Amino acid sequence: MSAAAPTAPASRVVRPRKPRPSRLLIGGLVVAAAFTWWAGHSLGFSLRPLIENWSNGWVVIEQFLHPQWSFVWRVREAWVETIAIAIVASGVGVILGLVFAFMASRVTDRSTGLFRATRWFLSVLRSLPDIAYVLIFVALVGIGSLAGILALILFNIGIAAKLTSETIDAVDSGPLEAADASGAGTWARARWAVMPQITPNYLSYCLYIFELNIRSSVVIGIAGGGGIGQVINVQFSRFEYENVAAITVALFVVVLLIDQLSQYLRRRFV
Amino acid sequence: MSAPPVTASSTRTARPAEPSKAKATLVWIALLVIFGGAAFLSNARWSQITGVFTDGWRYLELMLEGLVQNPFAEPWSGYWTLAIEKMLESVYMAWVGTLIGALISIPFGFLAARNVAGPVTVQLTRAVLNLIRAVPELVFAIIIMLPIFGFGPVAGTVALGVGAVGTLGKLTAEALEGIDPGPVEAARASGARRLSVLRWAYWSQVLPEVVAFWLYRFEINIRASAVLGIIGAGGVGQLLGQLFGQREWEQIGITLAVIIAVTLMVDAISGGIRHRIIAGSGSGAKATEEETASL
């Protein structure tokens, strides 16, 4: 086609050649497709049960459509526990996370060894799922909300440190230079040159982490970490789906309310 | 030194009064009260925290002991194989689940974008997406997937897929709302049909960003798939639950090491691809230029 173009009359616009698809992209897509097939194959993946066993599921869903609302109030202590766990865990987690964030940013941490070690420690900390921490602490301190709190603290440190250290990396260097010029030490530099710049973002991360902790209360409880999740687990194993449904809807409402509250607070701070 | 004259002159200039700290103090007191109240109301048996320091070291030692054994000798080779097998199952669950979520989220993303759909459709779709986002995957798995698919990884995979629709749909909609309107106008002006406009003007612009979201969600889903194992929906979580029940600390150590290693590896690969997609969305030469500039 490109050979014929020059011979064509000048009035015809020469169409630019269509770029050839990159070999990297094709290779990547082939690998992705092969991996998908292999993954589906080894999982025994099939959507057929969705049609065949729909009636099985429908029995459960039908029970879910008739939630027993009175149950929500009957387990009010578990609700208080869930919120208390989230408050304590996010309080401790964000404070420790802030310390780690300062150690994990080049801006505030001028020791290469400590910086590398903190980065490494944090990525290992983040790579374990929250459920693993709950299981570990249940083994150490027994079933109950203490295990949930300790697990969430570790989980929160990972998130808070990552988000905050990225914010620290991006601070304006003016105040840093001013602090350096006036002979500020590492601590004074962090407190007076960096901290005021990151405070609005940091506070909004704190709220975000608190929300996350409320959301993960189901997971925490199912593994034995106390709160509303534990109630869900017990009701689920007794096949009391009406109660589970009521709690799920109530949890949804609680999450929405806390979302609204934290959005309001965020507007006030930021 | 020249210090004395400086201080002499500076005493003369009136220093501005320090702003009152009363409000900050009150906020701190309120926070402390809330924290203390929560620590009390959480019903945590704080005295048991000593267990972390006494048992913690013992268990950690046992876990490390499991790690330093010859991984090719029985029974350790079996532990490593089982852990890797189950972790791969989690990775597969996360991959297929994310793919399902990604496919379903595309139409939702278009319907939730203000510059594509009408205001009523947008509000309705956003409500559905928010609802999905608020319900944890675990609840999807318990309510719908386990009764239909039975215990096993398929239930977990579908639950991960449905759970991913909420975030992916929202992010896709936000990406669509941020596109450059120029290509859309150009396509309309050349008489393109509605579907062609959506495909070539909207979708082409957001594709790199959206694929990056998918990969990011895949990284998140690897962690989430571990959670689903606890209720019997397959993957490495199921193995962890069993092992913790039996207090097999050496095997737990091996399994945790496998989880950490595989997660870090997948994060590194997926993160690399994400950066490549975002940075290299233009022509090849430009991409390498940008990459070297950012290094």
Q: HEC string of B135-198?
A: CCHHHHHHHHHHHHHCCCHHHHHHHHHHHHHHHHHHHHHHHHHCCCHHHHHHHHHCCCCHHHHH
Distance CA B161, CA B159 (A): 5
- What integer pLDDT is reported at residue A49 of this predicted model? 79
Confidence of residue A48 (pLDDT cuts 50, 70, 90): confident
pLDDT digits (tens, 9 = 90+) for A213-226: 988 888 888 888 88
- What integer pLDDT is reported at residue A219 of this predicted model? 85
**Positive or negative CA dihedral for A200, A205, A210, A215?**
positive
DSSP type of residue B48: G
pLDDT digits (tens, 9 = 90+) for A151-167: 999 999 999 999 999 99
- Which residues in B lie closer than 8 A to residue A61 (C-beta atoms)? 143-144, 147
Tell me the domain boundaries of chain A: 69-269
A76-103 helix and A112-127 helix, angle to the nearest 10 degrees:
150
Contact between A132 and B240 using a beta-carbon 8 Å cutoff? yes
Determine the 3-state secondary structure of B272 from DSSP: helix
User: Does residue B147 form part of some domain?
Assistant: yes
Would you mind telling me the total number of residues written for chain B in this entry?
295
- What integer pLDDT is reported at residue B62 of this predicted model? 87
Distance CA A120, CA A100 (A): 12
Residue-averaged pLDDT of chain A: 87
- What integer pLDDT is reported at residue B87 of this predicted model? 94
User: Does residue B239 form part of some domain?
Assistant: yes
The least confident of A187-201, B86-100, B181-195, B273-287 is B273-287
- pLDDT of A204 > 60? The answer is yes
- pLDDT of A147 > 70? The answer is yes
- What integer pLDDT is reported at residue B283 of this predicted model? 43
In chain B, the number of structural domains is 1
- What integer pLDDT is reported at residue A72 of this predicted model? 84
- What integer pLDDT is reported at residue A1 of this predicted model? 45
- Which residues in B lie closer than 8 A to residue A38 (C-beta atoms)? 92
- Which residues in A lie closer than 8 A to residue B264 (C-beta atoms)? 123-124, 127
Residues 6+ apart with CB under 8 A from A171: A107, A193, A194, A197, A198
- pLDDT of B12 > 80? The answer is no
Q: State the DSSP H helix or E strand holding residue B75, giving kind and residue range, or none if neither.
A: none
Q: Which long-range contacts (CB under 8 A, 24 or more apart) does A23-28 make?
A: A28/B273
Backbone angles phi, psi at B138, to 5 degrees: -60, -40
CA distance B187 to chain A (A): 18
Q: What CATH number does residue B99 fall under?
A: 1.10.3720.10
- What integer pLDDT is reported at residue A93 of this predicted model? 96
User: Does residue B254 form part of some domain?
Assistant: yes
User: Does residue B237 form part of some domain?
Assistant: yes
User: Does residue B275 form part of some domain?
Assistant: yes
B-contacting residues in A 160-199 (Cβ below 8 Å): none
User: Does residue B98 form part of some domain?
Assistant: yes
Confidence of residue A70 (pLDDT cuts 50, 70, 90): confident
DSSP type of residue B202: I
A-contacting residues in B 253-292 (Cβ below 8 Å): 256, 259-260, 263-264, 267, 273, 283-284
CA distance A186 to chain B (A): 25
- What integer pLDDT is reported at residue B289 of this predicted model? 37
Confidence of residue B288 (pLDDT cuts 50, 70, 90): very low
Encoded amino acid at A69, one letter? W
The least confident of A190-204, B125-139, B279-293 is B279-293
B47 or B189: which carries more pLDDT confidence? B189
Note down the domain range covering B164. Answer: 76-294
User: Does residue B277 form part of some domain?
Assistant: yes
pLDDT digits (tens, 9 = 90+) for B104-133: 999 999 999 999 889 999 999 999 998 888
- What integer pLDDT is reported at residue A53 of this predicted model? 76
Superfamily of structural domain A69-269 = MetI-like (1.10.3720.10)
- pLDDT of A61 > 90? The answer is no
The least confident of B2-6, B87-91, B95-99 is B2-6
Encoded amino acid at B35, one letter? F
Mean pLDDT across the stretch B6-13? Answer: 56
Would you mind telling me the total number of residues written for chain A in this entry?
270
Burial class (CB in 10 A: 0-12, 13-18, 19+), B21: exposed
